[in-house]
Structure 1
């Protein structure tokens, strides 16, 4: 589904402070549909905190976040959960998959949890896994290779056709070949599907694939220039 008419992601005036440390200081960021932005910075600089704020898992002290044309800051938990399921897709560093389920079951889960039809969810999950080169048979997810698990995590993030795709160190635990495949998949898929991709990473070779790179230091997010 092409989402080039979607507003993508907009972060404005975001502030987050904890235990005397300012992790996000008046952060401004916009990611258009089909565009990719990588955020780099040292460990503990607040990169993952930024993603958790966008997901609505951390409440900032100030600022607004708009995803897919809907402001998500200040929503009640039930409203936020609904918007998150329909608007945001998340790829975690270690996949955060259920190893005792098959890849198809893992990928279909977001639709099933939202009350979708079992048959439709499994059909779409199988299509995505086939497209991404993951065996969709009866193999348990825990038996897959690292690269296959990450591709499964990407498929799970994409099954709801999100306006905004988030990725937290998605290649950090992979070998060089698997890292290359997952990075290429993320950036290509976001561009082709018209999702706004926000990725945080320590790996500058992965960040270099993005349309833009920002660096987060001392709570300040600044563009590092076109790469």
Structure 2
């Protein structure tokens, strides 16, 4: 069970303007532990901005974000960084792994940055990579396939047992087979590990697998359909 996962993610009255463009206009969103929500919408509609606000990397003009029961609004930069390390995991479109590190070192990094024991972090990273089917013994990160890199990125996001798992176009750069495998993994780990999953995607087939699908357009979120889960 994710630490602090009993509260999941709660977004209330989120407003954000970029110049004259209103990207978020009073956005409301709740994702409970073990739940999955996919957000779709046209390019430039503010989907990634919503994720950045949840991460605390973009300060909204108004509104509130709570992660794992912790209020992010108004926290200093150092406090936000600590909340990110302890309560959130993030999977980017291209994995964002460091090629100079081994897969185990990449996955262990968030735990090490949180002050975790070196041996425990490496042991946990090795276990996660094995669980997710990523080769790591004597393997350079740069030699992993696209699908393997994304699975390693999921492992890295999970190592701190986050309350909230965020994914920004996590299957966008993958071939169809790898896309299905990574989508399976994301929805399965959210459900089995009890973390709230918020996924942004242009891929409607991936979005349809979420428990709920929402569309962000003209600054507001609207229900598309009730998902069928994964």
User: Is TM (by shorter chain) over 0.5?
Assistant: yes
Contact 1:4 1:33 in 2 (8 A): no
Are 2:10 and 2:65, in contact at CA under 8 Å, matched by a contact in 1?
yes
CA distance in 2, matches of 1:2, 1:140: 30
Where in structure 1 do 4 or more consecutive aligned residues deviate above 6 Å? none
| Secondary structure in 2 matching 1:23 | strand
- 2:4, 2:102 → 1: CA distance? 33
- Counterparts of 1:114-153 in structure 2 under 5 Å? 114-153=114-153
Q: 1:95 to 1:5 in 2, by over 3 A?
A: closer
Secondary structure of 2:22's counterpart equals strand
Post-superposition Cα deviations, 1:93-136, rounded to whole Å, max 9, x if no partner, equal: 00011012111000000111111111000000000000000012
Cα distance in 2 for partners of 1:136, 1:122 equals: 12
In the alignment of these two chains, the number of paired residues is: 227
Q: State the TM-score, normalized to the length of structure 2.
A: 0.97
| Aligned partners of 2:162 and 2:195 also within 8 Å | yes
2:73 is the counterpart of 1:84: no
Correspondence for 2:19: 19
Change (3 A) 1:163 1:65: same
C-alpha offsets along residues 125-164 of structure 1, whole Å, 9 cap, x if unaligned? 0000000000121211111000000000000000000000
Cα contact 1:89–1:162 (8 A) shared by 2: yes
In the other structure, the counterpart of 1:167 is: 167
1:1-40: CA deviation from partner (whole Å, max 9, x where unpaired): 3669611000000000011000000000000000000000
Q: Could you state the TM-score of these two structures normalised by the residue count of structure 1?
A: 0.98
RMSD: 1.1
Counterpart-to-counterpart distance in 2, 1:74 and 1:2? 24
Give 1:1-227 correspondences, 5 Å limit: 1=1, 6-227=6-227
The SS at the match of 2:221 is strand
Where do 5+ consecutive residues of structure 2 fail to align? none
